[in-house]
């Protein structure tokens, strides 16, 4: 399947940036989970543009749930989220019907869809499609919280400015889930935003890193081969546009460690496992240990920049140059944070339902 992810709990995405509507179908969630439309709205806002840091496109992003919720609770059958597109200025995109924007999917889409793709605003490849992930993810996040499973993501780096990592995990999670620009060291927020603004003023863009933590997961979730929990998370995370790397625990840094540095010791206290390190990111042999799951995601700088770029005409295959106009984000890492949380929650609902049964999250 092409736009569907998950086995027991699955999400199907649909829509194009400048089409009529976008959305998602979330299937397999246990029945009886309260659906808090206020929380969905709040999560949607986190994904939206924040002031000067983001695109000038303004969408209400009002989520309409047309199935799967009855008397305020999930029914156990597919939940459909529909978000009408409103502020679509398709005239901005005329030239982009045939000039491939570097770093975008225009050329690869042409090779796949032979010119029939909806090119307007990136069409089905637009980051806007993540709105469906966030709407569905909000239901998943609520369900997990009710079981004591918490997720938080911070902007580990943006435009070369680095946040501190997690140290007091519970307090850090609490903090992140109550702020809009998700940094642990609040002093870094200004520096990051300055980097974004500087890029914007130069007609350029910046990237960044997200770091996600999950606490409260039971041990014993995941599979040894192919469906390791790392495999499943990475599969889902690489679906977020602009993600170019995923690492767990020490990640790439583990490659430079000695075994004696990298191995996480086991310590048992009152039947609960702890460790003085978490270089394996809470996953061993593809299966949770009960330590916090920890991973980082690399987000490339937004490819839509205002500088002139060398490219090709996808119809004639001739060389040409392109200067993008219109409304674009100088950075998306701060908006992608809620997408990472949402994807994480959807993966976990699926994994827990497969491991412990479809009623587990009821």
Segment holding 293, helix H or strand E:
strand 293-299
State the nearest-atom distance from the C-beta of 206 to its own copies, in Å: 6
State the nearest-atom distance from the C-beta of 171 to its own copies, in Å: 26
> Residue 299 and residue 209: Cα distance in Å, rounded?
6
- Of residues 167 and 319, the one with the C-beta less far from its own copies: 319
Bridge pairing between strands 208-215 and 150-158: antiparallel
Return the ∠ at Cα 78 (arms to 74 and 81), rounded to 5°.
85
User: Exposed, middle or buried, 262 (CB in 10 Å: 0-12/13-18/19+)?
Assistant: middle
User: Exposed, middle or buried, 212 (CB in 10 Å: 0-12/13-18/19+)?
Assistant: buried
State the nearest-atom distance from the C-beta of 99 to its own copies, in Å: 9
> Residue 39 and residue 59: Cα distance in Å, rounded?
18
- Of residues 49 and 280, the one with the C-beta less far from its own copies: 280
State the nearest-atom distance from the C-beta of 25 to its own copies, in Å: 5
State the nearest-atom distance from the C-beta of 151 to its own copies, in Å: 19
- Of residues 73 and 177, the one with the C-beta less far from its own copies: 73
- Of residues 62 and 168, the one with the C-beta less far from its own copies: 62
- Of residues 110 and 177, the one with the C-beta less far from its own copies: 110
User: Exposed, middle or buried, 326 (CB in 10 Å: 0-12/13-18/19+)?
Assistant: middle
State the nearest-atom distance from the C-beta of 57 to its own copies, in Å: 18
Q: How far is CA 245 from CA 67, 161, 183, 238, 241, in A?
A: 35, 18, 20, 8, 11
Segment holding 227, helix H or strand E:
none
- Of residues 23 and 43, the one with the C-beta less far from its own copies: 23
State the nearest-atom distance from the C-beta of 137 to its own copies, in Å: 14
Q: What is the dihedral of CA 108, 114, 120, 122, to 10 degrees?
A: -20
State the nearest-atom distance from the C-beta of 277 to its own copies, in Å: 10
- Of residues 168 and 293, the one with the C-beta less far from its own copies: 293
Q: Which residues contact 16 (CB under 8 A, 6 or more apart)?
A: 22, 118, 120, 121, 123, 124, 126, 129
Q: Which residues contact 42 (CB under 8 A, 6 or more apart)?
A: 138
- Whether the CB-CB separation of 15 and 124 falls below 8 Å is answered with yes
- Of residues 178 and 272, the one with the C-beta less far from its own copies: 272
């Amino acid at each position: 399947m092409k736009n569907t992810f998950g086995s027991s709990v699955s999400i199907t995405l649909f829509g194009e940036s400048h089409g009529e509507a976008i959305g998602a179908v979330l299937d397999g969630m246990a029945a009886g989970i309260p659906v808090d439309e206020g929380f969905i709205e709040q999560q949607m806002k986190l994904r939206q543009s924040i002031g000067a840091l983001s695109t000038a496109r303004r969408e209400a992003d009002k989520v309409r749930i047309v199935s799967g919720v009855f008397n305020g609770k999930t029914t156990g059958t597919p939940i459909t989220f529909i978000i009408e597109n409103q502020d679509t200025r398709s005239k901005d995109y005329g030239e982009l019907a045939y000039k491939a924007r570097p770093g975008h999917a225009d050329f690869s889409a042409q090779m796949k869809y032979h010119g029939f793709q909806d090119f307007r605003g990136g069409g089905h490849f637009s980051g806007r499609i993540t709105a469906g992930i966030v709407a569905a993810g909000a239901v998943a996040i609520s369900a997990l919280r009710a079981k004591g499973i918490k997720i938080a993501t911070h902007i580990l780096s943006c435009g070369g400015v680095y946040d501190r990592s997690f140290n007091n995990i519970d307090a850090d999670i609490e903090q992140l889930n109550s702020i809009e620009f998700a940094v642990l060291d609040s002093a870094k927020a200004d520096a990051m935003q300055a980097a974004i603004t500087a890029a914007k003023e130069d007609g350029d863009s910046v990237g960044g890193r997200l770091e996600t933590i999950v606490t409260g997961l039971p041990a014993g979730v995941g599979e040894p081969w192919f469906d390791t929990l790392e495999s499943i998370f990475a599969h889902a995370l690489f679906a977020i546009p602009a993600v170019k790397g995923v690492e767990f625990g020490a990640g790439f840094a583990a490659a430079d460690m000695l075994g004696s540095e990298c191995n996480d010791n086991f310590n048992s206290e009152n039947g609960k496992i702890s460790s003085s390190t978490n270089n394996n990111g809470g996953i061993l042999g593809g299966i949770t240990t009960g330590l916090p799951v920890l991973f980082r995601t690399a987000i490339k700088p937004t490819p839509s920049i205002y500088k002139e770029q060398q490219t090709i005409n996808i119809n004639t295959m001739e060389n040409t140059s392109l200067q993008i106009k219109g409304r674009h984000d100088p950075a998306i890492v701060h908006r992608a944070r809620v997408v990472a949380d949402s994807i994480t929650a959807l993966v976990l609902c699926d994994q827990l339902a497969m491991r412990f049964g479809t009623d587990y999250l009821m």
